[in-house]
Amino acid sequence: MAPPSSDWDIVQEVRSGDARSFRRLVKRHEAQAMTLAVRVLKNREEAEEIVQDAFVRAFRNLHQFRGDAKFGTWLHRIVYNLCMTKVSRRRNDQFHQSLDEPGIDLSLADESDASGLELLQDRELREYLSKAVEELPEKLRSVVTLFYVHDMKYNEICTVMDIPEGTVKTYLFRGRALLRKRLSSSLMKEVTEV
């Protein structure tokens, strides 16, 4: 069995005329793109539209992809820019929409080995964490999501968000501090109510 092709190899196949190979890039990156879009927009339907649009734009502009960054980073940049345009339009229209759907699970842990009580506790903690992340300001939420969920390095986040590394570090520090504060107060409230 041949090893899986790298993103760069697939890009070269698409550029050579095999447009169907682009589906492999979509399959590899759509879950992370969706997570980012949902986190920024706080609306799953809008996020689905943005991700679809981002893949269409990536396909149409694949000739501009130089390979300086990973394909996933380049795609995240497209998704992030589309999301920020959508957010900007919302503000201009004075239209704010709340999100009543549950958050994206931030854990990749395998739950098959844990006991029922541990699973319940882990699930509750993930729910608190997910809710706290959703409540962060947009830019902090984006940096935290890119760093912890997508496991991006500082320089990749700089590329996606078009901000300097110092700003990434500041947003990450502020995001962690706010999460710590919110989680601490939520958990204390939960304990005192019992």
Kindly state whether residues 87 and 128 are assigned to the same domain.
Answer: no
Do 15 and 90 lie in a common domain? Answer: yes
pTM, 2 dp: 0.61
Say yes or no: 120 and 194 in one domain. yes
Of the candidates 117, 110, 57, 104, the one whose C-alpha atom is nearest the C-alpha of residue 85 is: 57
* Whether residue 73 sits in one domain with residue 17: yes
CATH number at residue 124: 1.10.10.10
User: Residues 30-42, buried b or exposed e (16+ Cβ, 10 A)?
Assistant: bebbbbbbbbbbb
Give CA–CA dist 96/110, Å, rounded.
36
CA 131, CA 104: separation in Å to the nearest integer? 9
CB 51 within 8 A of CB 34: yes
pLDDT truncated to tens, each residue of the chain (194 aa)?
A: 556 689 999 999 999 999 999 999 999 999 999 999 998 888 899 999 999 999 999 999 998 998 888 999 999 999 998 988 888 776 655 433 333 334 444 443 444 444 555 555 566 667 777 788 888 888 898 898 888 888 888 988 988 888 999 999 999 999 989 888 877 776 666 556 65
Q: Give the separation between CA 21 and CA 33, rounded to whole angstroms.
A: 18
Report pLDDT for 59. 93
Residues 59 and 89 in one domain: yes
Give a yes or no: residue 138 inside a domain: yes
Identify whether residues 19 and 88 lie together within a single domain.
yes
Evaluate whether residue 131 is within a structural domain: yes
What does the pLDDT read at residue 180?
Answer: 84
Confidence at residue 22, expressed as pLDDT on a 0 to 100 scale: 93
Domain boundary (49, 69, 96) is at 96
3-state secondary structure 71-138: HHHHHHHHHHHHHHHHHHHHHHHCCCCCCCCCCCCCCCCCHHHCCHHHHHHHHHHHHHHHHHHHCCCH
Burial class from Cβ neighbours inside 10 Å (0-12, 13-18, 19+) for residue 116 reads: exposed
Q: How far is CA 91 from the centre of its chain?
A: 21
User: Could you tell me the residue range of the domain that residue 13 belongs to?
Assistant: 1-96
